[in-house]
Each structure stands twice: as structure tokens, then as C-alpha cells.
Structure 1
Amino acid sequence: MKKFLKIAGVTIVVLVVFVLGYAYVSFNSYSPTDPDVTVDKAKLAYYQNSWEECRAAFRAQANSMKTRFDSVVIFSRSVESKTDTGLTIDFCYIPASDTTEKLVMICSGTHGIEGFVGSAVQQLLMAEFFKPEMLKNTGVLLVHGLNAWGFKNQRRFTENNVDLNRNYSTDKSLFDTNNDGFVALYDMLTPKGKLNMNSLGNKFFLVTAVNQIARKGMQALLQAFAQGQYEFQEGIYFGGNDFEQQVAIMSEVLTDIATPYSTLLNLDLHTGFGERGELHLFPNPINDPELKAKTEQVFKGYPINWGDSDNFYTVSGQFVEYIGDLLPDKTSIPMLLEFGTLNTSSTIGAVISAHISIVENQGAHYGYKSEKDSLKALAGYYEMFYPPSEKWRSNALSVSFDMIGDIWENFAEL
């Protein structure tokens, strides 16, 4: 009996060591495969590496369209900041030339650092996509760098640590929204103290996360993590205690520009969630049958990952949904377009994505143990929201160009 217990004990120890070793290696050496595409070097020029460069390139492309279109309106709105000067949200509006039936809005930078890719897509569309004959009955409004502070400072959130895509509503009761799942996971999602990327908690974060997944299920954890929370300003996905200044800015701009149009298509460009190399359509569920049917018609030919479907989530305070509430007399079709980076439908991809957000937030609030920790956290953040891979970047432009072309044709037929 003693011999049996000894063998069993050794077996358990070996098994535990194996599991921990596997978790350690899998988590710390994860590298998703890039799409198998040929890199288009010329189009990589649409990418820049700072908010200032992106803004200048966006405005240059907007000005160049004045030679091709009868009317191009370029304007900016200032964003106030306690730490930065000269921050702006930039706009390019081309009105419909004949009849104002439809308006397409394409927004970048709602989540700050994600604006690098959104800006590149907007520049590509201005340079190579829009043609005068496309805009006879349809106007287009390009919104560049909605979260200019986050864009410039390489964060997803505003200067107040607010997630803008959890902050939009016409009703302040948004800020009374409860997220009990986040509260239950607060300690795991909001670690305190200077960030040490080599701590045991960070090296073996996969073990902690898998334990929670086993207890509560992946879908429940994902919803708790990403839905948005309105209680902890120092936490991730904080939706705020009041509206950020961008809500008033966009309310004024959209009310003015959308007035003559009856049907709106609102596209918000994001990165991070989903499968690497794929462009996901990721809206909240739509309860209105007529609006849902029109949405499916506009995006026919592409799968729609409704927020309540497997491996996705619903959110509170979403920008493109807010436009419909702001302008209730119009048909307003909301859609979030998300370029996947880390294969978040897999457990390892989802856990690594969560960990990247958690450690970035910890470092932003409490600092870093060393410069190496800061650089490692930022590298992960870039891999999730602005991957340096030329294949990924080239593919993102190609896929978005083709998809938006199809969407435009479908919307014209609506």
C-alpha cells in the first residue's frame, strides 16, 4: 500500500510539473500564424507610427480629394487635455452631389491605439476607393482619431481611463449599469503595484485563467471582462461616471451633417478581437426585425458575429448604436468592424489577449518595475492592436478594401 501511495504521489507531482511546464511554455511562447498573403509594399505606406503622422496623412489625402470632387469639407474639433496640447478629432465630409438619401460614416481611433490601422484604411479609401459617381445619392463622413489622446499616447482609453466605446448614450442611466461578473473577478483583472512581467502571477497567468474558465465558463468570463464596467475607474473597460467630451462633439457634428439624409450606415474600425487575418462584423444584437433585416442585407455575403453568439460578447455604451438613439427619425445601421490579431476564439488566444490588457492597465496606473517590463508590455499591446507584421498589415488593407466595396454596393441597393 505504501509503495502504491508513493508511486501515486510521484505520478501526481510529475503530472503537475508537466501541466505547469506546458502552461508556461504555451503562454510565454505564443505566436499566431500570419495570413498567407503577398505583401503589397506600396500600400504599407498608408501606415504611420504616431498620431501626428497619421493625422497629417489623413488631412493630406482629404485635401487631395478636392481635385476630384466638387465639394470636400475638412474640419477639426479640439480635444481638451490636462497633459497634451493640439489634440483634435479630424473630419472629412463629402456631401452627396445630387440627392441626399444616404450617408456612410467611417470612424477610426475610438480605441486610441487601434487608430493606426483605422487611419490606414481611411487613407486607402480616400486615395483609391471613392469616386464621384459613387457619391451622387450618398454622402461620406470620415472621422479620424475619435480618441486622440489614446491614439497619441498608445492606449485604448481616454486620459480619464474611459473606454469610449462604453461611454456613448443619450441617457445617463448608462452609468448605473452593473457588471457583477467584473466585480467577482476584480482582483485578477486589476492587479496593484508596479508591473513585473517576470512575476509568477504573470508567467503562470494561464493557470489562473483556466481555473476561472473551468469554474465559470469561457462565455461568462468574456462577458464579464469586456462588457464594460462603471464602478472602478482604475479598471479595464471602464465606461466612465459621466460622458466624455467626445460624446458632445459627435452629437453636434452628426446632428448637423446627417440632417438631410434619411438612411445612415455607421462603420467603426477596430482591431484586436477575433481570428488573425480576418475582418469580423461584430454588432450588438438588434431587436428591431426591420433594422436587423436591413443590416443583414447590407452585409450579405459576410458572416455577422452578433454579440450574443459564441465566443463574442455584448457591450454597453457603444458608439455606433448611440447614433441611432441620437437620430431616431432616421434609419441607422450600426456595425463594428474588427480586425482579428490573436485568435481569441481559442482559449490560449483569449487568455493572452486578456493578460495583455491587464498588464498594460497595471503599468499605466502604477508604473513598471523596470524599463524592460515597460517595453515588453508595450510590445504585447502593439501585437494585439497594431501588429508589426507586414503580412498582417497588408492583408488588413486588402480585406477591408474588398469588404467595404461589397458593403457599399449592397447599401446602394437598399
Structure 2
Amino acid sequence: MNPSSYFASSYVNARRLYLRSAADAAARVETHVIPELRGLENEELATDVVRLGPTNARRLLVLTSGTHGVEGFCGSAAQIALLHDRPLHALLERLNVMILVVHAINPYGFSYLSRTNEDNVDLNRNSIDFSRPLPVNPAYDDLHALLVPPTWPPSAQNAAAIASYIEQRGEAAYQQALTIGQYGHGDGMFFGGGRTVWSTRLLQTLFEQYGPACDSIGWIDFHTGLGPYGHGEKICVGQLGADELQRARAWWGADVTSPLDGTSVAANVAGPVLDTLRRTCTRARTTAIAIEYGTVPLVDMLQRLRADAWVRQHPDADRQQIDAIRAEIRAGFYCEDDVWRGLILGQARAAILQAVIGLSREPAVA
């Protein structure tokens, strides 16, 4: 297949291509459907899971796409390419490593070209203990009324207020205020929710199903939107286990970054999805990263997410305006450019191979 043919134009087409590729690989598909919801094209909304490699392997690599919905075009293509990668399948058998390919963990956001799920929850802020006091984000509280204005495009006064905030405090402070997560504004941006949502519960279920027999588990969660165009930054974030960052750099290279030591383009967010693995599979040695592929400049990306939040608040707005906003959001997280697509697939395959080899060298847990 031509590399560009692994990329689909919509969630519907991505799922169709994924299922066809799984059938070509003679892989069984485990399907989990969101109940009582339909997609943008009135389609079924589902997360589909395929397992590759020896079923008795005690080393597992998890690959997830679509954590942030509209970012799923990238991760889906990497997963579909993997399903066609027969040499890599053979390597799994030789090294006794299993891969769990989790397609579209947030199918609602993927379908509706939104970063958040059916509850407007950011899955990468939802993996926290909701029985404990929720994190607070006063900087976001100060910005909330400005971020999602009553009209779109924002008024000149609104745009000037945002520009003034950035000028006075800096782009990094603006990014930090928005992106670390907030739990007080359900209609806002980067909302972590008030409970564990369907997709997070599904991940827990999958880890409970496949994790107990494993000594070592790796995870690559595919994302887009931050960093230089086409560059895949490998980020270790969350409640890292002992030596996890060191192990991640041994597997994937010294350029693995982390907000914990100030090397990452990403903020140190509350409740990242990678923590679901760490909390669920406490016996296994876990090594988890997100790969973040750059698309558009930071402020431009955040502006498109403001528009995403506005659409959520105004579902009865003019249909042409909503369609135009969704097209802009899609373009902010998926670049229809063969150079960008090639960069994504090449770096994804390298990262998967590095993880498989790294896992194969991990000792058994005593």
C-alpha cells in the first residue's frame, strides 16, 4: 500500500479500513460500542481492539489512537500500517511479545472532529481518583469567560484581551493555564470530568483483562497538535513508576522528554490517560509514553480548540458555520500532506520496534 493510503478522511472510513486490515491479517477484532450514541454520519461509535503476537506472552505493548478524538487520524494510520507489517508480526513471535492495538479509544471525538468525548471530557485529564479532592486551576478560572465567548469568531475586544494576557504573561503561561486541566467548568476546555467516563473505564477493563499475566507492559499513545511540524516528541508524563523515565530513554532514546524535568513541550497535566495503566497493573513493570506530532503553531492550535468548545455550547448554530469550524479543527490536528504523513508513519514504526525490542529484554518479575 502507498503510505498515504493508511490515512482515512473520517472516523467512519478509518474504522472501515482498520477492520479490513485486521481481516487481512487474520486477526480477531474485539468491539466495544458506546451505548445509545451515534456518530456524525449516524454511524455506530466503537472502540475496536486487536491482539497480535503470542497469546501467552508475558510482555505486552499497548498502542492507542484517538485519545483526543480528532487526533485519531494519525494514530489510526500508524495502527493500520502495523496490521500490514508482516515482518514486524514475525518479530513478535520470535521475541515473544504481544501487541494490543486499541483503535479509537474516544470514537465520539474522532467522529465529531472534537478533542473531547461525548461528555466534553478530555480523556487525558480523566485518569484521577474522583473520591479525593479534585485538582484546582485558578489560572484557568480567570480565563474561562474569555476562552469561550458568546459569539464566534470572537469579538475584537475578546481577541485583544487574550492577546494582552499572552503579552503580559507569556505564551508558556497561557498554555499552562489552559492545558494542565480543570474540573470546575464542564462546558469549558481541557475539562477532566466529575467521574470516570466510558473510555477510561474501557481502558481499565482492557488492562484488567490482558495485564495480570504480564511482567512488563509498554504503551504508546499517539497524539498530534504540539511541537515542530511532523516531529514526533516522545513524552513520559504522569505518575511515573520507579525508574520509568530512565527505562523509557533506554528503549526510545535520550530524546524522550518529560514535563517532570522540564524537557517537554507538553504541560504536566492532571490525570493523563497513561496513569490508567500504572494504577491498574500494579504488579507489572510499566513504561508508557505519548508521541506528540507537531502540526500548527501553539496559539493557532489553542484557538481551534476554543472554537471546538464554542461549537459544544452552540449545537444549534448555523450548520455551515459549524461545518467550517470542524474542518478547521480537523486541519489543525491532521495535515493532508504526504511529507507529514510519511514522517508520522516512519517515526511510529521506529517507536513500535524500539518498544518491542525493549520489552523483549525486560526480565521477569519475581
The TM-score normalised by the length of structure 2 is 0.89
CA contact (8 A) 2:136 2:183 kept: yes
1:61 is the counterpart of 2:21: yes
1:47 is the counterpart of 2:10: no
Give the whole-Å Cα distance in 2 for the aligned partners of 1:174 and 1:201: 39
> Alpha carbon RMSD of aligned pairs, Å?
2.4
Give the whole-Å Cα distance in 2 for the aligned partners of 1:372 and 1:182: 30
Q: Which has the larger radius of gyration?
A: 1
Corresponding residue number in structure 2 for 1:394: 342
Alignment of 1:227-246 (within 5 A): 227-246=180-199
Corresponding residue number in structure 1 for 2:59: 102
Give the whole-Å Cα distance in 2 for the aligned partners of 1:95 and 1:359: 42
1:254 is the counterpart of 2:207: yes
Corresponding residue number in structure 1 for 2:156: 200
Deviation of the 1:244 alpha carbon: 0.7
SS of the residue 1:88 aligns to: strand
Give the whole-Å Cα distance in 2 for the aligned partners of 1:218 and 1:253: 38
Per-residue CA deviations over 1:285-309 (Å, capped at 9, x if unaligned) read 6654422221221122534243552
Alignment of 1:59-138 (within 5 A): 59-66=19-26, 72-84=27-39, 86-96=44-54, 100-128=57-85, 130-135=88-93, 136-138=95-97
Give the whole-Å Cα distance in 1 for the aligned partners of 2:61 and 2:356: 9
Give the count of matched residue pairs: 356
Per-residue CA deviations over 1:206-235 (Å, capped at 9, x if unaligned) read x54342134333333212100111111110
Q: Structure 1 residues 133 and 243, CA, compared in 2 at 3 Å: closer, same or farther?
A: same
Give the whole-Å Cα distance in 1 for the aligned partners of 2:38 and 2:19: 24
Alignment of 1:11-26 (within 5 A): none
Match of 1:378 among 326, 330, 335: 326
Match of 1:209 among 143, 153, 162: 162
CA contact (8 A) 1:52 1:152 kept: yes
Per-residue CA deviations over 1:150-174 (Å, capped at 9, x if unaligned) read 11111111111111111123x2146
Corresponding residue number in structure 2 for 1:277: 230
SS of the residue 2:268 aligns to: coil
* Unpaired segments ≥5 residues, structure 1: 1-40, 67-71, 343-348
Alignment of 1:311-330 (within 5 A): 311-330=265-284
CA contact (8 A) 1:175 1:242 kept: no
Give the whole-Å Cα distance in 1 for the aligned partners of 2:317 and 2:249: 49
1:142 is the counterpart of 2:101: yes
SS of the residue 2:359 aligns to: helix
1:360 is the counterpart of 2:298: no
The TM-score normalised by the length of structure 1 is 0.79
Deviation of the 1:46 alpha carbon: 0.7
Q: Structure 1 residues 299 and 65, CA, compared in 2 at 3 Å: closer, same or farther?
A: same
SS of the residue 1:172 aligns to: coil
Q: Structure 1 residues 119 and 201, CA, compared in 2 at 3 Å: closer, same or farther?
A: farther
Q: Structure 1 residues 91 and 398, CA, compared in 2 at 3 Å: closer, same or farther?
A: same
Give the whole-Å Cα distance in 1 for the aligned partners of 2:268 and 2:311: 27
- Identity value in percent: 21
Q: Structure 1 residues 93 and 76, CA, compared in 2 at 3 Å: closer, same or farther?
A: same
Give the whole-Å Cα distance in 2 for the aligned partners of 1:368 and 1:354: 23
SS of the residue 2:217 aligns to: strand
Per-residue CA deviations over 1:45-87 (Å, capped at 9, x if unaligned) read 1111121221121112112222xxxxx4321112124455622
Counterpart of 2:111, as a letter, is K
CA contact (8 A) 2:38 2:44 kept: no
Counterpart of 1:356, as a letter, is R
Corresponding residue number in structure 1 for 2:288: 334
Deviation of the 1:365 alpha carbon: 1.4
Higher relative strand content? 2
Corresponding residue number in structure 2 for 1:297: 250
Give the whole-Å Cα distance in 1 for the aligned partners of 2:314 and 2:47: 29
Per-residue CA deviations over 1:142-195 (Å, capped at 9, x if unaligned) read 0001011111111111111111111123x21467111111101112222124x2
CA contact (8 A) 2:226 2:293 kept: yes
Q: Tell me which stretches of 4 or more aligned residues in structure 1 moved more than 6 Å.
A: none
- State which drifts further: 136-145 or 375-384: 375-384
* Unpaired segments ≥5 residues, structure 2: none
Corresponding residue number in structure 2 for 1:28: none
CA contact (8 A) 1:382 1:388 kept: no
Deviation of the 1:94 alpha carbon: 2.3
Deviation of the 1:260 alpha carbon: 1.4
Q: Structure 1 residues 86 and 375, CA, compared in 2 at 3 Å: closer, same or farther?
A: closer
Corresponding residue number in structure 1 for 2:113: 154
Give the whole-Å Cα distance in 2 for the aligned partners of 1:174 and 1:109: 28
CA contact (8 A) 2:10 2:111 kept: yes
Corresponding residue number in structure 2 for 1:413: 361
